[in-house]
Structure 1
């Protein structure tokens, strides 16, 4: 079991996580959940006025993000779907 501490804005990227917090029913592996959180954090930071990266930087991040083996990509797709993170699902 792993615990991830993230800012509320990052967790709120997923409607499902909002409900899962109370239910404690997350069923994703630690590695995949860490990747999902990394993706959400990058996109929350991109929307921030203070830390806004260029569109090119965000596109590069997204391209690199999905450069994983097929099994992990499949797990990312399942997690994005389960956690209702539309942008991540579209990317994968």
Structure 2
């Protein structure tokens, strides 16, 4: 009988479970939770419980988690600056409804870089609109002025 040394199994990365407004479950790595500042503050009280994200649908939460994972890869030098810039441009190349949902959700979850990316994209989008089309976006602008502030 051969004597084999048993190697300790590598410790698995701690996961936090998030549940979207529509009941989708997302196991999320600690490195991603760091980017979700609003969720990070809940962790000590939440323990191992599932954290409900009652303001964000599964479709949008999945996109935000994907954004955070990709930007974590960039921070770990797995992606070059030009790769992440191209990825970001593609990421926000979505219809207006999804873009606005990403904007509001990134503010709610306090994903600062994504919030600024979506604000910049909306601003650029407004430059291509007619005055009548921009007028329809006044409600959004007023919402920004009165409610949105990330420190």
Normalising by structure 2, report the TM-score. 0.56
Alpha carbons 1:36, 1:80 under 8 Å: kept: yes
Q: After TM superposition, where is structure 1 displaced by more than 2 Å over at least 4 residues in a row? A: 19-25
Bigger CA radius of gyration: 2
Task: Please state which structure has a larger fraction of its residues in helix.
Answer: 1
Name which of 20, 39, 43 aligns with 2:71.
43
- Alignment length (residue pairs): 90
Alpha carbons 1:14, 1:84 under 8 Å: kept: yes
Task: Please state which structure has a larger fraction of its residues in strand.
Answer: 2
Q: What are structure 2's unaligned runs of at least 5 residues?
A: 1-22, 119-151
Normalising by structure 1, report the TM-score. 0.89
Task: Give 1:16 shift.
Answer: 0.5
Q: What are structure 1's unaligned runs of at least 5 residues?
A: none
Alpha carbons 1:20, 1:26 under 8 Å: kept: no
Task: Choose between structure 1 and 2 for higher RCO, CA contacts under 8 A separated by at least 6 residues.
Answer: 1
Matched, 1:8 2:30: yes
- Report the 3-state secondary structure (helix = DSSP H, G, I; strand = E; otherwise coil) of the residue aligned with 2:53: coil
Summarize the Cα distance change of 1:3–1:20 in structure 2 as closer, same or farther, 3 Å threshold.
Answer: farther
Alpha carbons 1:77, 1:89 under 8 Å: kept: yes
Distance 1:61 1:78 in 2: 20
What root-mean-square deviation, in Å, do the aligned CA atoms of Structure 1 and Structure 2 show?
1.5
Matched, 1:77 2:136: no
